[in-house]
Amino acid sequence: MKIAMANDHAGTAMKEEIKKYLLENGYEVEDFGTYDEKSCDLSDFVYPASLAVAKGECERGIFCDGVGYGSALIANKINGCYAAVCQDLLCATLARQHTDSNILCLGAKIIGGLMAMEVVKTWLNTDPLMEEKYRNRVRKVCEINDKHCVPVK
Ligand SMILES: O=P(O)(O)OC[C@H]1O[C@@H](O)[C@H](O)[C@@H]1O
In a domain, 114, yes or no: yes
CA separation for the pair 106, 128 (Å, rounded): 20
Domain around 59:
2-148
The CATH number of the domain holding residue 26 is 3.40.1400.10
In a domain, 153, yes or no: no
ipTM of the prediction: 0.92
In a domain, 79, yes or no: yes
In a domain, 50, yes or no: yes
In a domain, 107, yes or no: yes
- The tens place of each residue's pLDDT in the chain, 153 residues long, gives 999 999 999 999 999 999 999 999 999 999 999 999 999 999 999 999 999 999 999 999 999 999 999 999 999 999 999 999 999 999 999 999 999 999 999 999 999 999 999 999 999 999 999 999 999 999 999 999 999 999 998
Long-range contacts of range 36-45, CB-CB < 8 Å, 24 or more positions apart?
36/9, 36/12, 37/9, 37/12, 37/13, 38/9, 39/9, 40/8, 40/9, 41/8, 42/6, 42/7, 42/8, 42/70, 42/71, 42/74, 43/74, 45/6, 45/7, 45/8
Counting from 1 in the atom list of ligand 1, the atom nearest the Cα of 39 is 3
Residue type, 94: L
What pLDDT, on a 0 to 100 scale, did the predictor assign at position 128?
A: 97
What pLDDT, on a 0 to 100 scale, did the predictor assign at position 36?
A: 98
Ligand 1 centre from 40 Cα, in Å? Answer: 9
**pTM score above 0.95:** yes
Please, which residues bridge with residue 31 across strands?
5
Q: Which residue is closest in CA terms to ligand 1's atom 13? A: 66
Ligand 1 centre from 6 Cα, in Å? Answer: 14
Q: How many domains does the chain have?
A: 1
Ligand 1 centre from 54 Cα, in Å? Answer: 25
